[in-house]
């Protein structure tokens, strides 16, 4: 099962799609996938009334050509960027005043 074990997993379903975000080694043979992503966790929990959290993270990345994929959970958010952009992402987030641990 894709969702078993340690590590980040997200499952989303719409009327016409099922998306599973997981570690590459969990993807069964023959399933379409896009690999080479790195995940940054935004440490929550954040109140639903708190605004601008995602924007404060995405804006410096988007302004510098870094594409992002955001997955939100009840207590936090996960920012996925291509692994080739991971170091640039770290630098840009630090420059924007975000603490990376």
Contact by Cβ (8 Å): 63, 26: no
| Residue ranges covered by each domain of the chain | 1-35, 36-101
Could you tell me the fold of the domain covering 36-101? VC0802-like (3.30.2130)
Q: Which positions ≥6 away from 10 have C-beta within 8 Å?
A: 19, 20, 21, 22, 71, 73, 78
List per-residue pLDDT tens for the chain, 101 residues long.
Answer: 677 878 889 999 999 998 999 888 888 889 899 999 999 988 776 777 777 888 899 999 999 999 999 998 887 889 999 999 999 999 999 999 888 87
Q: What is the pLDDT of residue 84?
A: 98
Q: What is the pLDDT of residue 101?
A: 73
Q: What is the pLDDT of residue 60?
A: 96
């Amino acid at each position: 099962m894709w969702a078993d074990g340690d590590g980040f997993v997200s499952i989303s379903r719409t009327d016409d799609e099922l998306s599973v975000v997981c570690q590459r080694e969990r993807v069964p043979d023959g399933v379409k996938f896009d690999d080479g992503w790195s995940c940054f966790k935004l440490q929550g929990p954040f109140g639903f009334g708190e605004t601008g959290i995602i924007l404060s993270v995405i804006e410096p990345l988007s302004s510098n050509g870094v594409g992002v994929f955001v997955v939100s959970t009840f207590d936090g958010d996960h920012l996925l960027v291509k692994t080739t952009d991971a170091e640039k992402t770290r630098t840009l987030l630090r420059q924007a005043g975000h603490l990376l641990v």
